[in-house]
Amino acid sequence: MIKPHGSDKLNPLYVMDEKERANLAKEAEKLPSIVVCSAAAANAVMLGAGYFNPLTGYMNVADSMSVAKDMKTTKGLFWPVPIVNVAKDVSAIKGAKKIALRDPNVQGNPILAIQEVEAIEEIKPDQMKFMTQAIFRTEDPKHPGVKAFTSVGNFAISGPIKVLSYSYFEKEFPETFRTAYQIREQMGKLGWNKVVAFQTRNPMHRAHEELCRMAYNDLKADGILIHMLLGKLKEGDIPADVRDACIRKMVELYFKPNTVLITGYGFDMLYAGPREAVLHAVFRQNTGCTHLIVGRDHAGVGDYYGPFDAQKIFEEIPKGALLIDTYMADNTAWSKKLGRVVMMRDAPDHTKDDFIMLSGTKVREMLGNGQAPPPEFSRPEVAKILIEYYQAIDKKK
């Protein structure tokens, strides 16, 4: 396993000691409070879990602008996207030095964290425009990440936090949600040193499965971390519980025992393409993984990014900025000629007709009609779970 990003030891911001946490929770009830946006809540969960090591809290405007411009804080820490707590209305916390942050995603808005307020700053329109363009490479409000980033307000509340809860993630995904320190611990018990991480917000088809296997074999890795996003997604994406069931079934039936860890993290998808790919690398380093699979259209959406932009950005970041390495992948698909899944770049003698390739729209249509995609595209056991999901949706309409 490799060292965390920016420090020798992981520094999770969750208050581990039960007595201290209970005392802080009591104190928090008396503090001025604010219901944070979902993105800020997810940032708190990631800070608490150690994924955003070595950050100690939310960035101020100067750090956010510096990160957007140069991918480093004003003190020189390499970081790809601003980690902020942005709100529309800060009247309830005006003048407060310490505040309670309430969870927008749990009924009753329980307290998620305590924050020391170093500054409350207004983000100017030109600053918001600059950050949006730098992070997402577009200001198009139809982009789901842009829409989320620009609609939550223009007041940045900066300062260190102490995290008291992991929001809904522990309760809703008890078998899957894991912190960075729990993953390190688990990999240590398994004796894994070289570990390749696979990022997903979707169920895994045959191509994804084989890509993990290729990376595992090529790198002579000790294990694979399948690490799925459990937070908010755009409309139309498959919910985390369905995806979780699909991945578990695939691993159970088609991977050797003790070669795969199935885990998830509590974050809202940014759809920020290249910048988000780098963030994925940062927090996989914090789990101890040595490699991250970066595929075609990694963390992208629509046509906002080139197919390999998320790979190119790793050539642009400063040498030594990260300890984690990348495993760069091309599109993978079943070759009719070879009778197996291959990376397209490794089959120069193939035409498109030599591969089994289906669009997402076509796959959804087939599943909704109760028809499983070809077994070369999707494992039948996985397709069965997805058919049940899509048919349940159709019944509700």
Of 21, 201, 213, 364, catalytic: 201
Distant-in-sequence, close-in-space partners of 350: CB < 8 Å, separation ≥ 6: 335, 337, 344
Q: Do the beta carbons of residue 80 and residue 278 sit within 8 Å?
A: yes
Q: CA–CA distance from 37 to each of 41, 235, 318 (Å)? A: 6, 18, 32
End-to-end CA gap in the chain = 48
Look up 286 and say whether it is catalytic. Answer: no
Q: Provide the 3-class DSSP secondary structure of residue 8.
A: coil
Q: Do the beta carbons of residue 135 and residue 272 sit within 8 Å?
A: yes
CA trace torsion 239, 150, 92, 124 (10° rounding): 160
Burial of 258 (0-12, 13-18, 19+ CB in 10 A): exposed
Gyration radius from the chain CA atoms: 21
Of 202, 248, 331, 364, catalytic: 202
Residues making up the chain, counted from first to last:
397
Burial of 42 (0-12, 13-18, 19+ CB in 10 A): buried
Look up 201 and say whether it is catalytic. Answer: yes
Q: Provide the 3-class DSSP secondary structure of residue 71.
A: coil
Helix H or strand E encompassing 380: helix 380-396
- Residues tagged active-site: 201-202
